[in-house]
Amino acid sequence: MDTWQNYLESYLLEQIEQHDDIEVRWGNKVVDLDDHKDHVTLSIQTPEGEYQHTSNWVVAADGGRSFIRSHLNLKMEGDSYEGRFVIADIRIKLDYPTERLAFFSPDWNPNNTILMHREPDDIWRFDYQLDPTVTPEEALKPENLKKAVADQLKMIGKDHLEWQLDWSTVYSARALTLPDFVHNRIIFVGDAAHLLPIFGVRGANTGFQDAFDLSWKLSLMAGVIKTCYKAIVPIGCKPPKKSVPKRESQRALCRRLAMAIRFCAMRYCHYH
């Protein structure tokens, strides 16, 4: 299934809007943070000024150039590959089936490959390898993009069709990961935690897996903390006269722990 990320994000927002306990704060940028033992204080910049927010846990989902990762001076490990690729999304009516087309060493781009595939709304993605001597800035100049697309369309006999450029970028493949995603109360997910080569189309997919994985684990932690708090506090304090006997409280704690684990495990199975 091919779904654009901007569609995906709008579907996620639709879901979020149905949950009163989730608040989206647009235009809020984390510019500083203090990681205390049991909580984190974030400094957040907004158009109206800066404010501080204190949280028990922070999920760092701030992308491949993660500010939080740099701020904590965490280094990713792995490889960055040299090859650079251009993406040119163009709007055009092509009657090809919805499958990926690959062209190897075409005359207009010898020794390199070009991929074409359909996206929603009559957009076709042209994805071609860049000659190592050409800089990304040079490749993204409108005249150079136009020439590359025109050459490819000519090669496949479609140069009589009208088209417009919708979006373009240059990317390179990286296989990098943080050795550890959890740093005290800060948990890294998505591109902030790992960068996967684009060829497997797994970047966003693994971000979703992180979110599913984390949701049941945090939920388990919250459940355990809450359960322990409720059950343990009466044991630690001097029991009021008609309190539940100690053994009963411990049994209740175990039962609640088991229920929390079962509940989270069920959610985990459901998601996977």
Residues in contact with ligand FAD by the rule CB under 6 A: 5, 29-30, 61-64, 67, 87, 169, 171, 190-192, 198, 201-205, 207
CA distances from 19 to 15, 177, 212, 261 (A): 7, 32, 17, 24
For ligand FAD, the closer CB: 4 or 235? 4
Burial environment of residue 117 by CB neighbours within 10 A (0 to 12, 13 to 18, 19 or more):
middle
- The distance of closest approach from Cβ of residue 153 to ligand FAD in the complex, given in angstroms and rounded to an integer, is 21
For ligand FAD, the closer CB: 171 or 268? 171
For ligand FAD, the closer CB: 36 or 202? 202
- The distance of closest approach from Cβ of residue 71 to ligand FAD in the complex, given in angstroms and rounded to an integer, is 9
- The distance of closest approach from Cβ of residue 178 to ligand FAD in the complex, given in angstroms and rounded to an integer, is 13
- The distance of closest approach from Cβ of residue 44 to ligand FAD in the complex, given in angstroms and rounded to an integer, is 8
- The distance of closest approach from Cβ of residue 192 to ligand FAD in the complex, given in angstroms and rounded to an integer, is 6
- The distance of closest approach from Cβ of residue 29 to ligand FAD in the complex, given in angstroms and rounded to an integer, is 4
For ligand FAD, the closer CB: 78 or 203? 203
Give the CB-side neighbour count of residue 250, counting CA atoms within 13 A: 4
Residues 6+ apart with CB under 8 A from 71: 32, 33
Q: Nearest-5° angle of CA 231, CA 182, CA 194?
A: 145
Its sign, for the CA torsion 241, 244, 247, 253, is: negative
Helix (H, G, I), strand (E, B) or coil at 51: strand
Are the C-beta atoms of 85 and 53 separated by less than 8 Å? no
Distance CA 172, CA 191 (A): 14
For ligand FAD, the closer CB: 1 or 269? 1
For ligand FAD, the closer CB: 193 or 260? 193
Helix (H, G, I), strand (E, B) or coil at 231: helix
